[in-house]
Chain A
Amino acid sequence: MLVVATAALLGASLVTPVATQAAIPSITIWVDSPRLPGAQLYAQIMKGKVNVNVQLHAQGDLVAKVQLFNTVKKGWPDVVFGPPNDVAFLKNPLVNNALMLDKLQSPAIWKAFGHGNDWCNLNGHYYCVKNDLAQTVLWYNKTLMTQFGYKVPTTMAEFAAIGADVAKNHPGYSMGPLGDQAAYSSFLESSQCPLNVAKSDTVVVINAKSPKCTRVSALLQPMIDSGVLDVRSPFDAGYIKDVQAGKWLMNVGPSWWGQFVLRPASSYNVPAGQVATAPMPLWAGETKAYSGEYGGGIYTISPHSKFPKEALAFAMFMVGDVRNLVTVKNPDGSHGAPTYPAYGPGNKIWVQAVAKDTYYAQSIVPALDTQAQLIWPGTKPVRYDANGAWGASFATDLAQTKNLQHAIEAYATYTSNAATQVGYAVVSK
């Protein structure tokens, strides 16, 4: 991948027209490897109009590098693709690397995002552009479900009932892993468990003992005990090996699950014609079946950019242009953007292409569309590494104790400390 990227980077810089360099705008873009083909295509398209310098970076690079740029007062890239949580830190006045974008494009375009860009709306202003939504849905193996005679669960109680039956009659089949952020995005967020609910830049709600959290552990604990839910990470080599043997029945997972986790031969390797999606199962007593979100990157634009409009235009190309969403060729031979676009009009283009994908047993789009409007708005970007803490405290604790509530509380303790350390007041509601 790196070799390809470097070669492509060289290519991009070679085609830069030197003579006109001073006359036309020039922007520097940082993207990760899944976004690289689109960014390179953009550079080609803009040749002669905007000089686009594409650089390959790991997703989390900006937060670290911006400290150095701020120290030497130069070097900030114009527009960067990064993890969603970064925006809270980048918009802090002392860091000052997320430009307020409201006035850079027409209100109609912002409106076309629908709820898609809610994450980037902080205190009523837009500080980033959401690249993709990572809303959770129920992914299931249609072939196995038919074979076992199960109905697709519409409530969490039905989900747990299937779990009990699987443990009894079909032991060895998995209904999903819980490690890393999986438990949070799949179950805790959908149950509205307050673990990262930032009320302002300095106040955050963290309360693992809330009934919205304890009902999750109460429902899932028997499934953990019976082994139907796995305490390992979704990317754990051992777990992958187990489900590769045709043992993946279903799991609540984000929109990118099919393409990145279920499909690749090196991953769960579920054969073509078996995977389907359904809307999120509903928690008892709720009227809305919320989704959690697992990932879903953002573009931030530096206030130091001389060409913020051109920088924003790149982000909008990535989320709204058919050439990136559908036609661009990826190194693995596939075409188009790999994840569910956050921007309404772009999304319509993308889903048309995905709906035709014969890998899936039926179109995965309806469930994704339903849940895109139902992402739980409670979780907000925070200035501490709320995502890393899932590995640092929750996953480790769950692996050792196999007690979900204990692990949730370990996470809450860790993040409460982390939040206090960076100057948040932690409250229970």
Chain B
Amino acid sequence: MSQGRLHKPKNLLMIVMLSPYLLLLFLFGVLPLIMAVINVPSKSPANPNGGWHVFKVVLNDFRLVPAMWHVLGFMAIFVPLMIFFVVAMSLMLDANTAPWKKYVRLAYIVPACISGSVAVLLWYVLLEPTLSPFKGLMHWMGVTQAIQIWRTSNLTFILAFMAFFALAGQWILIQFGSLQSISTEVLEAARVDGCSQVQLALKIKLPLIRKYVIYMGVLVFAGGLQIFVEPQLLNSSVYHGIANQWSFDQLSYSLAFDNGNFGEASALSLMLLVPSLIGALIVIFKTDMFEDVTLKSGRKMKKEAQAREAAQA
């Protein structure tokens, strides 16, 4: 309706605003993709003649299936844990009206400052029965040796918790921010109607930030699929070999930089693009995530809320 008239100038503005992004997308997204495709048939010491059959070789690689189970196991713990915990904590933070709320918010961000390489060292010390500040507890539970904790089969859990503590704080604040954008009128109305704090959180606030939760889910999923730094560091500097080609990205890295096999590394990277691409397409076309993109989308939420109120009335 009124949007139709604004289309033309808006498009021009849109292109101007998009161009820096498009440039970066081309340089760091499309160009590497083209290079990967070109690299697939390249020669390597393992494959002296090169060729497109490397896709098949990668699929038959003895490390691929273990890597898949590692990453899937990691995601099965990490993604739901993140979504549940972050949503719960941000709803509680939003409900809490105490004056020390801002300090609590600060506290959430602190673990997020310890990420990547530092987190690996921190968790090594925390979970090493000889060095840990909790060694009393660990010994009481019968854990006295590092190999009871630091073994490949436990890494799914350890890395999931490591990633959770590194990322949860930031997302709690982001979701807290999205809760702030909910109109006070809606919340007032709900309270007047006798809504309890719990009902307010679960029945009013949660549906209104649903989109942000999905958005978080997508990003957390994409990030989890690409897990690399933590297992790589564990493997190279804490316990040599504990996470050899543990994740997809590590396998791809190892193919390229340990074996000099850029063909197989590119083939694997291209295959890894598929699930992410499908995920992105589903989010774009099968959800209303990217519909009516206005900053903070507060206005739209207000509209939705008004519509809801009207329907309830």
Contact = CB atoms under 8 A, between A and B. Distances in A.
A392 interface: yes
Interface of B: 43-48, 61-63, 128-131, 144-147, 151-152, 235, 239-242, 244, 256-262
Contact of A400 (B44, B129, B151): B151
A6 interface: no
B147 A399 contact: yes
Given A241-B130, A390-B241, A417-B63, 10 more contacts: A63-B258, A67-B256, A94-B48, A237-B128, A238-B130, A383-B45, A391-B242, A392-B242, A421-B62, A422-B261
B147 A392 contact: no
B257 A67 contact: yes
Closest A-B pairs by Cβ, 4 of them: A391-B241, A392-B244, A392-B241, A64-B257
Contacts of B145: 232, 236, 238
Given A63-B257, A238-B129, A396 B242 contact: yes
Interface string A94-134: 11000000000000000000000000000000000000000
A31 B307 CA distance: 69
A389 B241 contact: yes
Given A232-B145, A400-B151, A423 B45 contact: yes
B159 to A, nearest CB: 16
Contacts, number: 94
A282 interface: no
Interface of A: 63-64, 66-67, 70-71, 89, 92, 94-95, 180, 231-233, 236-238, 240-241, 383-385, 388-393, 395-396, 399-400, 417-418, 421-423
A388 B241 contact: yes
A396 B152 contact: yes
Given A388-B240, A391-B242, A417-B62, A237 B147 contact: no
B270 to A, nearest CB: 18
B45 A89 contact: yes
A422 B259 contact: yes
Nearest to B253: A64
A305 B61 CA distance: 36
A422 B45 contact: yes
Given A241-B130, A396-B151, A236 B146 contact: yes
Given A237-B130, A383-B45, A422-B45, A95 B260 contact: yes
Nearest to A236: B146
A64 B265 CA distance: 13
A357 B206 CA distance: 72
Nearest to B39: A71
Contacts of A95: 45, 260
B256 A391 contact: no
